[in-house]
Chains A and B, each alone.
Chain A
Amino acid sequence: MSTHPSNDENLGRFTYAEVDRDILATLGTPGKGYLALLLLCLGLVALGAFSWTYLVLKGIGVTGLNNAVGWGSLITNFVFWVGIGHAGTLISAILYLLRASWRTAIFRAAEAATIFAVATAGLFPLIHIGRLWVAFYLMPYPNGRQLWPNFRSPLVWDVLAVSTYLTVSAIFFFVGLIPDIAAVRDRQKPGPVKWILSIASLGWMGTMLQWKHYMAAYVLFAGLATPLVISVHSVVSWDFAMSVIPGWHTTIFAPYFVAGAILSGLAMVITILVPLRKVFRIEHIIRPFHFESMAKLLLFTSLIVGYAYATEFFIAWYSGNPFETSVFVYRPTGDHAVAFWTMVVCNAVIPLLIFRSRIRKSLGALFVISLFVNLGMWFERFNIIVTSLGHAYMPSRWGSYTMSLTEWGIMLGSFGWFFLLFLSFIRLLPAVSIAEMKEAMPAPAKGATS
């Protein structure tokens, strides 16, 4: 039995005015800690920009890529960040359709993480192609030379899937923000900020008719976003599974990638929210109950990922395919065994601690577990990509891979970029949905509004 108050009990403690006051307080003058974090992120972004510029000037040879391992940390980061972008839509769309009311306090931050993670992910294919000025070749557009992308290539499916996902997630995010932007607008003194917010809130007045249309649109977008959560990472997985590279060509990849993406996304949301609630003093709004619910989802997806790891090994052994078997022996014992074991321990073993009630109710423990899962999920992508390419088929084409300093710089820059966007967002707009918090409040609390 949970000793934490339920979502209803939690929401029952507030009035409308308190919700407005506490959530909008997060938009006040930033503290020193916030500014220090912002500076750190800016520094990392500068490092990333410098590294990318260096790569553009010198060519893709400054990475650790080679003839055997043609995809490395850049594609690893792409898949990692797309994965992080899954929790937001899961929490905002799927849990909304499932009527899981505990999502109200956390979905806004998770949605923001989604948008920023997918935007970060989108940079990596551009970086990876080296000559980013020819990136437009990926887009299907009418041209006099009759050149079209190869629509049979999963890489083109990926461009379409990720851009669709980003578009729908961004619209869904914006639609959810409209009443809150209006709430911020109403507190502003006349001036340019109020003018911008008035435009962004699309004339929201909170009338009955507006709410009716708003709710209809929200359900529609939730319905649209849900299959996209599944499809986008399925398509990412098919970048690998459609090939016949040992370790990649397997039917389990699509659901395995989707589960892994949700696992990593949830871990990132926990990683962000644990300090966020403390820094912005919203512990009474984002409560341990919410983390416990997320922890259960994290455990569930971790079990699916563990199941997929085990199944892959079993099938490799069962099949008798020597190339497949060779890759699956190489992963735990070869050059990148550390990546493999980090992946297994962080994603499939450490999350099992959540079975213990005491652990899943401890925010400190969950924060540490989420860090491990973030690490493990990065290594999972690395392990899949690098070991299969480095050990495919003929021994004469085997090779290894080490990340260059340029790639390290770009990777750190991507983390800086993601957190910079997130930190900027929480200063500009409410990190918790005011409208949904009020909607989910029990009736007596509504009556007690000021």
Chain B
Amino acid sequence: MKSSELEQAVLDSTPLVLPPGTRILSLVLMGLGAAGFSAGFVAGRPAESWTALLVGTVLLIGLAVVGIVFSAIFQVTRARWGRAYRRLAEGSLALMPPALLFLLLFLAGGGPYLPWAHAEHLSGGKHIWLSRPFWDARVLLCLGLTYALALVFLYYSLRRDFCLPAVSGRLQGPLSRWLARDIPEPAGESERCSRRLAALAPLLCIAYAVCFTLLGFDLIMALEPQWISALFGAWYFMGHLFSGLALLILVASAKQDQYRLGAFFSAARQKDLATLLFAFGLVNIDFFWSQYLTIWYGNLPEETEYIITRTLSAEQPWPHIAWLALTFFFIIPFAALLFRKIKQNRALLGAVCLLVIGGIFLARFVEIAPALLPQPPGAGTAALIPVLLSSGSVLLAGLGAGLWLYNWFLTQVPVLPVGDEIFRSELAGGGEAHS
């Protein structure tokens, strides 16, 4: 495909207006989330509302950045095969506003429900580490730093596309005009953007790993102040990469028809994505098992209590959720993704992706909720349904708001990274056929 033909094809696929039904669907989901969040307050159980908000937030803050991290990973590895998905992945920034809003809301109102906030004694460095406002500042700093780097990376990625006259001439939305401003020498500017992207990509990946490790410790592990797991931070950020990839596959599948992207998203590429999902699933379960086995075998009470409450106790309702989560994020996807036919079938692969996201959501729920909502012995799983539904609705509200922004974002920029040299060379047939 010639460069001009490629640019034309990409621009023809780029929508200039929001797809029909976007606003309504987003508003419905946001309304659902508001209702779910309010339900606990209305019922006189505010802890449930704050728990639901925290569960939704810890997922959204990661999903909001992980798409841009994937784009950075493609940049660092110089991978050819996944280039076409870069822009759709970068659209994850649409989740940043709701994620930040939810987090600020939790910091403003959920603080009193943090178990360590009123613990009588915190051992070791916890009395310093788990003190407010240090905790709040750290959470905001970690998230702010990662988001800032991600946005700068995204800026250069988009700006490079607008160095192409065809793109800046066709797309005229407010974001498009801002990205296309002051480009007197397009070739030089494109080269500058590429250099900046090459420098920023590893920085973003490192910042993501470090900052989300700390966020995992602060937002989840610290809820049980006596419990520690050195791998917990990595388990947390790996969960985002896993569920983020599942979300990307779902989005790509939906947009493929909506924006006529079939020529760029071949069945072989979809299979590659599915294989990558399988690989992330294995890493994810490796991190899970490395924690579980070490704690189980060590049999130290300060470590096992956390595991027993959530996965083994017959008196607690949590184990049902925990095993359901494991089934969703590992057992079914692992078994399903062994089969090539499932990887190549969009509907079946989409179902697997939904399970992965659901499984990670349930895993976060079962990590957070027992600390904030301790259940009396003998409580049934049914007692958890209201807070589980609230948590799900908060997540859906965030995704709903994100959907609106995401679709708007795709009206402002090319739906494929048309300025990316490797993407262009791959389509021109100059690349390695199998890389």
User: With an 8 A cutoff between CB atoms, is B202 at the interface?
Assistant: yes
Instruction: Pick the contact of B300: A8, A234, A244, A317 (CB < 8 A).
Output: A244
**In the complex, A286→B295 CA distance in Å?**
45
**In the complex, A311→B214 CA distance in Å?**
10
**In the complex, A249→B297 CA distance in Å?**
10
**In the complex, A311→B232 CA distance in Å?**
10
Tell me if A303 and B206 are in contact (CB < 8 A): yes
List residues of chain B with CB within 8 A of the CB of A234: 286, 290
State the Cβ distance, A255 to closest chain B Cβ, in Å.
6
A 401-419 to B, binary, CB cutoff 8 A, 1 in contact else 0: 0000000000000000000
State the Cβ distance, A120 to closest chain B Cβ, in Å.
26
Tell me if B286 and A319 are in contact (CB < 8 A): no
Residue of B nearest to A242 (CB): B297
Given contacts A251-B230, A253-B290, contact A319 B124 (CB under 8 A): yes
B 191-224 to A, binary, CB cutoff 8 A, 1 in contact else 0: 0000000000010001001100100010000000
Instruction: Pick the contact of A101: B129, B291, B295, B435 (CB < 8 A).
Output: B435
User: With an 8 A cutoff between CB atoms, is A321 at the interface?
Assistant: yes
User: With an 8 A cutoff between CB atoms, is A325 at the interface?
Assistant: yes
User: With an 8 A cutoff between CB atoms, is B125 at the interface?
Assistant: yes
Tell me if A242 and B124 are in contact (CB < 8 A): no
User: With an 8 A cutoff between CB atoms, is A200 at the interface?
Assistant: no
Tell me if B291 and A318 are in contact (CB < 8 A): no
Instruction: Pick the contact of B434: A99, A242, A249, A253 (CB < 8 A).
Output: A99
A 92-124 to B, binary, CB cutoff 8 A, 1 in contact else 0: 000000011100000000000000000000000
User: With an 8 A cutoff between CB atoms, is B432 at the interface?
Assistant: yes
User: With an 8 A cutoff between CB atoms, is B229 at the interface?
Assistant: yes
Instruction: Pick the contact of A244: B291, B298, B435 (CB < 8 A).
Output: B298
User: With an 8 A cutoff between CB atoms, is A54 at the interface?
Assistant: no
Given contacts A234-B290, A252-B234, A355-B202, contact A325 B124 (CB under 8 A): yes
State the Cβ distance, B270 to closest chain A Cβ, in Å.
16
Tell me if B290 and A255 are in contact (CB < 8 A): yes
User: With an 8 A cutoff between CB atoms, is A312 at the interface?
Assistant: yes
Residue of B nearest to A254 (CB): B290
A 234-262 to B, binary, CB cutoff 8 A, 1 in contact else 0: 10001001111000011111110000000
Which residues 119-137 in B have Cβ within 8 Å of A in the complex?
A: 122-126, 129
**In the complex, A325→B123 CA distance in Å?**
12
Given contacts A99-B434, A303-B206, A307-B209, contact A242 B230 (CB under 8 A): no
List residues of chain B with CB within 8 A of the CB of A244: 298, 300
Which residues 44-63 in B have Cβ within 8 Å of A in the complex?
A: none
**In the complex, A250→B295 CA distance in Å?**
8
List residues of chain A with CB within 8 A of the CB of B287: 255
User: With an 8 A cutoff between CB atoms, is A349 at the interface?
Assistant: no
Most buried by A among B129, B202, B210, B297: B297
Residue of A nearest to B121 (CB): A320
List residues of chain A with CB within 8 A of the CB of B124: 317-321, 325
List residues of chain A with CB within 8 A of the CB of B434: 99, 101
**In the complex, A317→B123 CA distance in Å?**
10
State the Cβ distance, A439 to closest chain B Cβ, in Å.
11
**In the complex, A294→B202 CA distance in Å?**
16
**In the complex, A318→B217 CA distance in Å?**
10
User: With an 8 A cutoff between CB atoms, is A201 at the interface?
Assistant: no
**In the complex, A190→B175 CA distance in Å?**
75
**In the complex, A355→B432 CA distance in Å?**
25
A 144-181 to B, binary, CB cutoff 8 A, 1 in contact else 0: 00000000000000000000000000000000000000
User: With an 8 A cutoff between CB atoms, is A315 at the interface?
Assistant: yes
State the Cβ distance, A94 to closest chain B Cβ, in Å.
9
Q: Is the interface of A mostly helix, strand, loop or mixed?
A: helix
User: With an 8 A cutoff between CB atoms, is B345 at the interface?
Assistant: no
Instruction: Pick the contact of B282: A227, A303, A308, A312 (CB < 8 A).
Output: A227
Instruction: Pick the contact of A320: B125, B217, B231, B294 (CB < 8 A).
Output: B125
Q: Give the number of chain A interface residues (Cβ < 8 Å).
A: 33
User: With an 8 A cutoff between CB atoms, is B24 at the interface?
Assistant: no
Tell me if A318 and B228 are in contact (CB < 8 A): yes
Tell me if B206 and A317 are in contact (CB < 8 A): no
User: With an 8 A cutoff between CB atoms, is B335 at the interface?
Assistant: no
User: With an 8 A cutoff between CB atoms, is A230 at the interface?
Assistant: yes
Q: Which bucket holds chain B's interface residue count?
A: 20 to 34
Tell me if B294 and A242 are in contact (CB < 8 A): yes
List residues of chain B with CB within 8 A of the CB of A253: 290, 294
List residues of chain B with CB within 8 A of the CB of A252: 230-231, 234, 290
List residues of chain A with CB within 8 A of the CB of B290: 234, 251-255
User: With an 8 A cutoff between CB atoms, is B293 at the interface?
Assistant: yes
Most buried by B among A234, A244, A250, A303: A250
**In the complex, A435→B435 CA distance in Å?**
19
Most buried by A among B123, B230, B232, B435: B230
List residues of chain A with CB within 8 A of the CB of B229: 251
**In the complex, A100→B228 CA distance in Å?**
38
User: With an 8 A cutoff between CB atoms, is B91 at the interface?
Assistant: no
Residue of B nearest to A243 (CB): B298
User: With an 8 A cutoff between CB atoms, is A7 at the interface?
Assistant: yes
User: With an 8 A cutoff between CB atoms, is B244 at the interface?
Assistant: no
Residue of B nearest to A250 (CB): B230
User: With an 8 A cutoff between CB atoms, is B400 at the interface?
Assistant: no
Residue of B nearest to A310 (CB): B210
List residues of chain B with CB within 8 A of the CB of A227: 282
User: With an 8 A cutoff between CB atoms, is B233 at the interface?
Assistant: yes
Tell me if A319 and B293 are in contact (CB < 8 A): no
**In the complex, A220→B265 CA distance in Å?**
27
Instruction: Pick the contact of A230: B213, B230, B286, B300 (CB < 8 A).
Output: B286
Tell me if B213 and A311 are in contact (CB < 8 A): yes
**In the complex, A325→B228 CA distance in Å?**
14
State the Cβ distance, B367 to closest chain A Cβ, in Å.
14
Tell me if B435 and A255 are in contact (CB < 8 A): no
List residues of chain A with CB within 8 A of the CB of B81: 99
**In the complex, A355→B201 CA distance in Å?**
12
List residues of chain A with CB within 8 A of the CB of B286: 230, 234, 254-255
A 379-406 to B, binary, CB cutoff 8 A, 1 in contact else 0: 0000000000000000000000000000
List residues of chain B with CB within 8 A of the CB of A317: 124-125
Which residues 292-329 in B have Cβ within 8 Å of A in the complex?
A: 293-295, 297-298, 300
**In the complex, A234→B290 CA distance in Å?**
8
List residues of chain B with CB within 8 A of the CB of A241: 294, 298
Most buried by A among B129, B282, B286, B300: B286
Given contacts A230-B286, A319-B228, contact A249 B125 (CB under 8 A): no
State the Cβ distance, A251 to closest chain B Cβ, in Å.
4
List residues of chain B with CB within 8 A of the CB of A321: 123-124
Residue of A nearest to B213 (CB): A311
Q: For the A-B complex with A251-B294, A318-B126 known, give 14 more contacts whose Cβ atoms are closer than 8 Å.
A: A99-B434, A227-B282, A238-B297, A242-B298, A249-B300, A250-B231, A250-B294, A251-B230, A253-B290, A308-B230, A315-B230, A320-B122, A325-B124, A355-B202
5 A-B residue pairings within 8 Å (CB atoms): A99-B434, A254-B290, A255-B290, A308-B230, A319-B124
The interface of chain B, by Cβ under 8 A from chain A, is 81, 122-126, 129, 202, 206, 209-210, 213, 217, 228-234, 282, 286-287, 290-291, 293-295, 297-298, 300, 432, 434-435
Q: Which 8 A-B pairs have the closest CB atoms?
A: A320-B124, A320-B123, A252-B230, A254-B290, A251-B231, A251-B291, A252-B231, A315-B230
